[in-house]
């Protein structure tokens, strides 16, 4: 049975049983505690936590999941996948244990002809929580499973909670016996390779405290409503129903391995080490495609770093298996063909997915080539000294200078039988940059206790009136201060105000929140500083009470600042025009990856490889301003999502849309996007759009910034004044400034080259002096001196090469230590005759390096690097002379 059919049968089974089918959520959700969705219940968390009332009593879904905590285990074992599909059925206060067990048993044992999976009931084993005899009794009574195939386990195996105080409950897991060839008898407690878990039923009935029942601690209470949360591993079921040895040989993964065999010339199933790499490719290719489809782009931290790591492991595995050419485009095409029947976005958005993956591959191949050479040299140096650990400074150099990720260094070091001073590396990383980067928006309510808002969320959504008016009469539903609900807010206090209706826009979709005021009779006045959403439906006005006393239940006037709103609508509508212009100039692959718009300013991130040309930027600006001049009407309407997509409306990747969506149309076909923000009524109201620049913000993601409206005019006026000042200084008309500046730059380049030649001649003139003062130690001539003051690393190498050449075929060593801008660049050169005596340039660096706090490396004939302590130059040179004396006896 094919995997797509397994999914279909699961959903149909539960829909027939009265469940609402819920589409898979994006792998990326605004949950501060999760990097990616990692379980089927994640999108239902607000219902289980009691933050929102569930809109249905029964639900079913097949959820996309990614777990990355054990990437290193992927391929090594045949049970780990980073991406997997979790089929689940959920009950919110409806059926409980008996219902969940009955539904599961019916599906897995019903014949395939009748729409089930057709598992042999005699090969099914189940486990139950050690304190849950009720579940065991139901299995025995409803399913007829004999007691000997029902095993009890402790909380570590058969109790579930979210890892924090909140809902939890005992589990019952369903296992399938694959037979004696896969392990010993005795059920799951004896061997989980033979007895494979396929389904976990969680009976959510408890409230856990700070200490988890998983570790033997008692729950602190009982939930008012008992819920069901189950998860069936689609890939594991496919493995069993398709009769293959492991999940990598199922219909949605084995074709990737087949393509990898063709591209590398190696065969799967011959050698274990190769098999691991084939499985890494199959797993990571699929995971990467699914992540890119949900809007993730390669980056240096967070989700982007995970994706980058997956893509780079694919490339490296393919290279080790023997592929000499790029492979990513081929692999992505296979994944698209395999997965599109269940996830059609992989086909419709294939070009973008392919572009992102291929772009990262291209960049990494350059990194891999350079970094691998340096890594090999580092390994040789460590081994030559009898060491077992690569220094943190070397790992940092690989990362910082050559873009070699630390996880790859760790992986390659392990393969070479070495360790890495990871603590030293982390310390250097901490010194280099502030790692406490935070997305302020995502953390505004990230770790707050949202239960205080539950009643308000259950009451219903805040009515947003701001599309039609800037001032609205409203009722104060609640006041919250310091995380506690309060009846009154006094003058001078900071308070969160929840109204039944509001004209103030709550931050969303890249548009920052409105500023404004809340007033009431008796001189009550609050300044609204920010507006955020709770559960996407309740507006929370963060305000300062400037005068009077506000009481829950008061009738108030809420007003959005007209000037602020006007500027914000200009910025947001301008963003839509720039997006449309980008797609006209660059094509359909230039799709949105993020945005920020506020009064007078817009920032737009989009997927694209490579820097934009000046011509492209000029065209984007011109097309955007042409649309402003056309005075296009701006129309908004609400429709269903399929209809909006059919019309061609653009959607933001990774965003979860409801059944109804709002479409913003500017100039008919010119721009049409799904958007909940505020906009101008005609495009001319945006005013001029001035592109400020374009830059990279991550692999495959570019950013343009622009001013709009009056801010655009002010910027252009400032630029005009600046140009006039330059023209006056150069004593030429403004239109001749570019040519005049070009002439001056060219003259400066000529002067700099002449100065460089003069400087180099002066440096080389000292070469003869160094040769004349060479010290003979045994058979070897040694020059170990301080370089002329101010000689940099590049000139130093030239000087040392010249000195070395003057010694001809004699055994000679040249060591020069410079002193430039507080740094100590150094170069060591060894003639062929001296190398024949066993002397290597790299070995000598270790003699003087500690004195100048420096490190470096290179080949036997030449090594170079730099130190940071000029005070140690004399001691370093003395150490070199002593080391050479040791080497030549």
Cα 662 to Cα 348: distance, rounded to the nearest angstrom: 22
β-pair partners for 153 = 129
Q: Which residue has the tokens 């020059």?
A: 783
How many degrees, rounded to 5, is the angle at CA 736 between CA 734 and CA 742? Answer: 120
Tokens standing for 277?
A: 């790499």
Q: What is the DSSP string of 187-250?
A: -TTT-TTTEEEEEEEEEEEEEE-SS-GGGTPPPSEEEEEEEEEEEEEHHHHHHHHTT-SSGGGS
User: Which residues sit opposite 783 in a β-bridge?
Assistant: 814
Residue 866 near residue 793, CB atoms below 8 Å: yes
Is residue 576 marked as binding? yes
Dihedral sign, Cα of residue 319, residue 320, residue 322, residue 328: negative
| Cβ-contact 829, 814 below 8 angstroms | yes
* DSSP letter for each residue of 597-629: EETTEEEEEEE-SSPPPHHHHHHHHHHHHHHHH
The span from the CA of 558 to the CA of 474, in Å, is 7
Compute the distance between CA of residue 279 and CA of residue 253 in angstroms, rounded to an integer.
9
Residue 97: which of 245, 202, 215, 232 has the closest Cα? 202
Distance CA 470, CA 503 (A): 5
Closest of 140, 159, 145 to residue 202, by C-alpha: 159
The per-type count for the chain, helices as H runs and strands as E runs, is 26, 35
Asked whether the beta carbons of 509 and 464 are under 8 A apart, the reply is no
Q: Is 65 annotated as a binding residue?
A: no
List the one residue out of 670, 595, 651, 612 whose CA is nearest residue 352: 651
- How is residue 692 written in tokens? 């400020």
Other C-beta atoms within 10 Å of 508: how many? 16
* Cα 867 from chain centroid (whole Å): 35
The reply to whether 679 sits in an annotated binding site is yes
d(CA 208, CA 166): 5
Per-residue 3-state assignment (H helix, E strand, C coil) for 468-505: CCCEEEEEEEEEEECCEEECEECCCCEEEEEECEECCC
Q: Give the C-alpha separation, 461 to 473, whole Å.
A: 16
- In whole angstroms, give the CA distance from residue 878 to residue 889: 17
Q: Give φ, ψ of 456 to 5 degrees.
A: -70, -40
φ, ψ of residue 873 in degrees (nearest 5): -60, -50
Who contacts 372 (Cβ-Cβ below 8 Å, separation ≥6)? 412
Cα separation, 773 vs 816, whole angstroms: 13
User: Which secondary structure element, helix H or strand E, spans residue 61, and what is its range?
Assistant: strand 58-66
Closest CA to 53 of 227, 268, 185, 181: 227
**In whole angstroms, what is the distance from residue 285 CA to residue 332 CA?**
7
Question: DSSP for 156-173?
Answer: HHHEEE-SSSEEEEEEEE
Check: CB of residue 85 under 8 Å from CB of residue 63.
Answer: yes
Is 675 annotated to bind ligand?
Answer: yes
Binding residues for Zn(2+): 572, 576, 675, 679
Binding residues: 572, 576, 675, 679
């Amino acid at each position: 049975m094919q995997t797509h059919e397994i999914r279909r049968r699961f959903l149909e089974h539960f829909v027939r049983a009265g469940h609402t089918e819920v589409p898979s959520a994006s792998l990326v959700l605004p949950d501060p505690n999760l990097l990616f969705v990692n379980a089927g219940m994640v999108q239902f968390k607000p219902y289980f936590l009691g933050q929102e009332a569930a809109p249905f009593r029964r639900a079913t879904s097949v959820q996309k999941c990614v777990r990355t905590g054990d990437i290193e285990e992927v391929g090594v074992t045949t049970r780990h996948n980073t991406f997997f599909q979790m089929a689940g059925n959920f009950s919110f206060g409806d059926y409980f244990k008996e219902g969940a067990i009955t539904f599961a048993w019916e599906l897995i044992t019903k014949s395939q002809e009748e729409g089930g999976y057709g598992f042999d009931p005699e090969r099914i084993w189940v486990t139950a929580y050690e304190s849950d005899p009720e579940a065991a009794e139901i299995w025995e009574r409803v399913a007829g499973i004999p007691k000997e195939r029902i095993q009890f386990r402790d909380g570590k195996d058969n109790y579930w909670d979210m890892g924090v105080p909140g809902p939890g409950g005992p589990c019952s897991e369903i296992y399938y016996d694959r037979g004696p060839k896969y392990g010993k008898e005795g059920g799951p407690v004896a061997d989980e390779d033979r007895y494979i878990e396929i389904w976990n039923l969680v009976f959510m009935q408890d409230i856990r405290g700070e200490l988890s029942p998983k570790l033997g601690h008692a729950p602190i209470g009982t939930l008012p409503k008992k819920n069901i949360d189950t998860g069936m591993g689609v890939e594991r079921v496919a493995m069993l129903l398709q009769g293959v040895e492991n999940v990598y040989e199922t219909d949605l993964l084995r074709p990737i391995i087949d393509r990898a065999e063709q591209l590398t010339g190696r065969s799967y199933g011959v050698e274990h080490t190769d098999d691991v790499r084939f499985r890494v490719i199959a797993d990571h290719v699929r995971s990467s495609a699914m992540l890119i489809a949900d809007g993730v782009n390669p980056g240096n931290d967070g989700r982007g770093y995970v994706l980058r790591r997956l893509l780079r492991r694919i490339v490296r595995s393919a290279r080790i298996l023997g592929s000499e050419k790029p492979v990513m485009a081929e692999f992505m095409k296979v994944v698209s063909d395999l997965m599109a029947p269940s996830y059609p976005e992989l086909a419709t958005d294939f070009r973008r997915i392919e572009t992102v993956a291929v772009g990262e591959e291209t960049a990494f191949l350059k990194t891999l080539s350079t970094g691998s050479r340096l890594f090999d040299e580092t390994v040789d140096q460590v081994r030559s000294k009898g060491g077992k650990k690569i220094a943190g400074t070397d790992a940092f150099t690989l990362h910082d200078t050559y873009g070699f990720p630390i996880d790859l260094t760790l992986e390659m070091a392990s393969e070479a039988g070495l360790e890495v001073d990871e603590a030293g590396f982390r310390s250097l990383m901490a010194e280099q940059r502030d790692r406490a980067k935070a997305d302020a928006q995502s953390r505004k309510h990230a770790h707050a206790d949202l239960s205080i808002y539950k009643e308000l969320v259950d009451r219903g959504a805040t009515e947003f009136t701001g599309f039609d008016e800037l001032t609205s009469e409203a009722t104060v539903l609640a006041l919250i201060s310091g995380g506690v609900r309060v009846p009154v807010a006094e003058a001078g206090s900071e308070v969160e105000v929840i109204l039944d209706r509001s004209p103030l826009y709550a931050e969303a979709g890249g548009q920052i929140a409105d500023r404004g005021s809340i007033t009431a009779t008796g001189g009550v006045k609050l300044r609204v500083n920010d507006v955020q959403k709770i559960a996407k439906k309740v507006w929370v006005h963060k305000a300062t009470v400037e005068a009077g006393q506000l009481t829950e239940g008061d009738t108030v006037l809420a007003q959005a600042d007209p000037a602020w709103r006007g500027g914000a609508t200009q910025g947001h509508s301008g963003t839509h025009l720039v997006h449309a212009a980008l797609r006209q100039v660059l094509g359909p692959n230039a799709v949105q990856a993020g945005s920020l718009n506020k009064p007078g300013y817009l920032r737009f991130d989009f997927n694209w490889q490579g820097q934009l040309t000046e011509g492209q930027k000029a065209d984007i600006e011109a097309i955007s301003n042409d649309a402003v001049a056309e005075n296009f009407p701006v129309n908004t309407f609400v429709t269903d999502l399929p209809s909006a997509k059919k019309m061609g409306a653009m959607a933001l990747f990774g965003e979860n849309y409801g059944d109804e969506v709002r479409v913003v149309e500017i100039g008919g076909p010119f721009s049409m996007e799904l958007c909940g923000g505020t906009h101008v009524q005609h495009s001319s109201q945006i005013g001029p759009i001035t592109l400020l620049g374009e830059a990279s913000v991550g692999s495959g993601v570019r950013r343009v910034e622009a001013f709009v409206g009056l801010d655009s005019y002010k910027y252009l006026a400032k630029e005009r004044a600046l140009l006039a000042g330059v023209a006056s200084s150069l004593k030429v008309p403004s239109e001749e400034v570019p040519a005049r500046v070009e002439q001056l730059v060219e003259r400066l380049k000529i002067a700099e080259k002449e100065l460089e030649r003069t400087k180099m001649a002066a440096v080389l003139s000292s070469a003869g002096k160094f040769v004349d003062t060479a010290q003979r130690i045994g058979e070897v001539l040694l020059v170990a001196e301080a370089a002329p003051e101010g000689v940099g690393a590049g000139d130093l190498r030239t000087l040392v090469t010249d000195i070395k050449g003057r010694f001809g075929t004699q055994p000679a060593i040249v060591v020069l230590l410079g002193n430039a801008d507080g740094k100590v660049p150094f170069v060591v050169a060894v003639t062929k005759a001296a190398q024949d005596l066993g002397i290597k340039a790299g070995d000598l660096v270790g003699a003087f390096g500690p004195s100048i706090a420096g490190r470096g490396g290179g080949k036997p004939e030449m090594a170079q690097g730099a130190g940071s302590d000029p005070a140690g130059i004399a001691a370093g040179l003395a150490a070199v002379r002593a080391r050479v004396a040791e080497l030549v006896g």
